[in-house]
Amino acid sequence: MGSRFWWIALPLLAVAAFALLVTEPEDSSTADPPPRSEPEPAVFQATTALVDDARINAADTEPQNWLAYGRDYYEQRFSPLDSINQESVGRLGLAWVSELASSFALQSTPIVVDGIIYFSTNWRRVHALDAATGESRWVYDPQTPREFLRKACCGPVNRGVAVYGGRVYVATLDGFLVSIDASNGKELWRVDTIVDRTRNYSITGAPRAAKGKIFIGNGGAEFGVRGYVTAYDAQSGDQVWRFYTVPGNPAEPFEHPEMELAATTWKGGEWWNIGGGGTVWNSIVYDPDFDQVYLGVGNGAPWTRTLRSPGGGDNLFLASIVAVDADTGSMNWYYQTTPGDNWDYTAVQDMMLAEMDVDGARRKVLMQAPKNGFFYVLDREDGELLRANPFVTTTWASHVDMASGRPVETEQSDYSERPKWIVPGPLGGHNWQAMSFDASSGLVYFPAQQNPLLYAMSDEVASTGVLKRNPGQMNLGIELGRIAQLIDETPGAPEAVGYLKAFDPLTGKEAWSVEHPHYWNGGVMASAGGLVFQGDALGYLSAYASDRGERLWHYNTYTSMVAPPISYQVGTTQYVAILAGGAGDNFGGHTTDTAAYRYGSYGKLLVFKLDGSEELPEPFELDKIIPDLKPLSASTEDIDRGNKLYHEACAVCHGVNVKSAGAMPDLRMMRTQVHDRFAQIVLEGTLSNQGMAGFADLFDVSDVQRIHAYINDRAIRDRAAALATP
């Protein structure tokens, strides 16, 4: 099996992960959700975690803490601590571990304030632990209904909390922003951030806190939504402003003046039916120098622009970086990385702020490596484009024209006439995994990937130019079932490759690059110890020399990692912490040496220090034998139809061509009892308390039988192929 299926990357995948039959002790709660309290100015006396703007701004004066998502407002993720350094790192060992009883990916950046470490896990459970010992202080559970998982693209994942004014803020999968008392884990208020609950909005991103406000966006573009960001009063939860990223139905009034401008760039069609997209599901960065907030805006919904805006146009503010006033939400400037996005090229990737000399002048800059494969350096004052150097192969565009600021698309970029392999694919040349900047060297360290997709529309959609909205399902324009078949039938697809790169954003040159066996790896942290830390899909946490890329230390966690490491200090002891848990490649058939594939995924917080002597138990390797199944009575047409339905509704979690990689069970290996109950599980939702919601609104019994027949057929063929391979 070659590496032909990374692509199904689908939506921001991440590590999709819910599953028929995941058993997750920590997540098996069936309790009713608590009442949705209205925001109110609670009587609240902050006693701990007294983080404010001044402290976050001056984070370098307290290097023992990690006060915010990217450590400070510049979000450079560079730790000034240096007792763990190139000379001492060989002595790094495990200090303590906190097992989190979770099989889903862990993506969160922990926050450390005054000896307490705060982080979110799956389902937005929030933990507060003693940062030196790992002793639990409290756990908060928002009681998110498990069946909501069906409405989220990529598992019940969460990238982190904000700690501010004695409170911890987390956004739930089902779209509530929650304020928690940092001293005891009690909920103070929750507010509903979702404007339309008939649409599949969800939240996976970390809120940001500044100027007495909490900023939060959402995700769901693949399902068909309209993106926006909201600012809330940090104390009361009252809404302060809301900025939509794409226009709604032009027959209705514009919510704010920027929508009038944006609407002139959408032409023909009825994009508002599908939603338009432009969700801000990851990066929102506050800039204290200009008192503005940068919104990293996502892809179009649907993906295919001829379906979304058949008259052409740039489709603002898709795939843009938008700077808005922190107090009013009114726009100061925007820069669009991918005009008329056609490939799921989000600009939601992490943004870092810095000051640097550019062409002889000192500039305040913003840096981003979005999915489209170009590394952007913008002037933060006005959004002027300063650099746009490629960091991976980009077959969709030859270069960015610096005069116009626009990418120059190639003939290869257009898949409207026939399917095309395009690099990057929808997983991007870089995704949400954190990057880090060392101001002393001017280098950015980040996980890049060369990761193509065969973009193909169904014949029907390609010939009619019309995509009917499919409520509750993905509305992409491209046709996953067809792509799965094409890739399966066509050998010799291009390989996907992952890298850790040390990249000069001004020259576009690599100082060094490490190639990984698997492309989907963890975020990065650099430190004053001359080290770059990264966890990878194979389960190794490694420290590289930041000046030359030499791997100086590694540790086998037996757990695939996608989250970024952080560093902090308690007393005189420096620690490195990382949340481990994930699937290297949930989308079938790629490398089988990821830790998630070999051992399954058991989430944990791992904390290291010099001379740490804790040990992890060696895990068991999982049995990967597909059982000997009898064919179900079904025609070839039924199986083909089952393939189409499976890839519309099931593949995002269970893997393309039914090849999942480990964070959840492989449906080809279902036991007899599960086969017997298949229709019941899918239609009635008998496993909904584990995240496998019922699909009776989409499927009838014959649909489910076809899906079952397809899965069964796939299992029989894959078993035969495995037995034929020596």
Applying CB under 5 A, which residues contact Ca ion? 11-12, 299, 344
Closest to Ca ion by CB, 11 or 166:
11
* Residue 376 C-beta: closest distance to Ca ion, Å: 19
Closest to Ca ion by CB, 299 or 413:
299
Closest to Ca ion by CB, 12 or 17:
12
Closest to Ca ion by CB, 269 or 298:
298
The Cα-based distances of 373 to 165, 252, 649 in angstroms read 38, 36, 29
Residue 181 CA to residue 46 CA, distance in Å, equals: 8
Exposed e or buried b per residue across 496-527, where buried means at least 16 C-beta atoms within 10 angstroms of its C-beta? bbbbbbbbbbbeeeebbebebebbbbbbbbbb
DSSP strand E in 85-227: where? 92-99, 111-113, 116-120, 126-130, 136-140, 162-164, 167-171, 176-181, 187-192, 208-210, 213-216
Residue 553 CA to residue 543 CA, distance in Å, equals: 5
Catalytic residue (one of 287, 344, 488, 585): 344
* Residue 348 C-beta: closest distance to Ca ion, Å: 8
Amino acid at 297: V
Residue 569 CA to residue 586 CA, distance in Å, equals: 35
* Residue 233 C-beta: closest distance to Ca ion, Å: 30
* Residue 154 C-beta: closest distance to Ca ion, Å: 10
Closest to Ca ion by CB, 75 or 344:
344
* Residue 426 C-beta: closest distance to Ca ion, Å: 6
Give Cα 199 to chain centroid, integer Å. Answer: 20
Exposed e or buried b per residue across 561-593, where buried means at least 16 C-beta atoms within 10 angstroms of its C-beta? bbbbbbbbbbeebbbbbbbbbbbbbbbbbbbee
- To the nearest 10°, report the CA torsion of 92, 98, 103, 107: -60
| Direct distance between the N- and C-terminal alpha carbons of the chain, in angstroms, rounded to an integer | 13
* Residue 372 C-beta: closest distance to Ca ion, Å: 12
- Is the Cα dihedral 642, 643, 647, 652 positive or negative? positive
* Residue 298 C-beta: closest distance to Ca ion, Å: 6
Closest to Ca ion by CB, 160 or 219:
219
Closest to Ca ion by CB, 205 or 383:
205
DSSP one-letter string for 417-474: SS-EEESS-TT-SS-SS--EEETTTTEEEEEEEE--EEE-B-HHHHHH------TTS-
Contact 555, 563 (CB under 8 A): no
Residue 20 CA to residue 481 CA, distance in Å, equals: 20
Please confirm, yes or no, whether 547 is among the known catalytic residues.
no
Q: Which positions are annotated as active-site residues?
A: 344
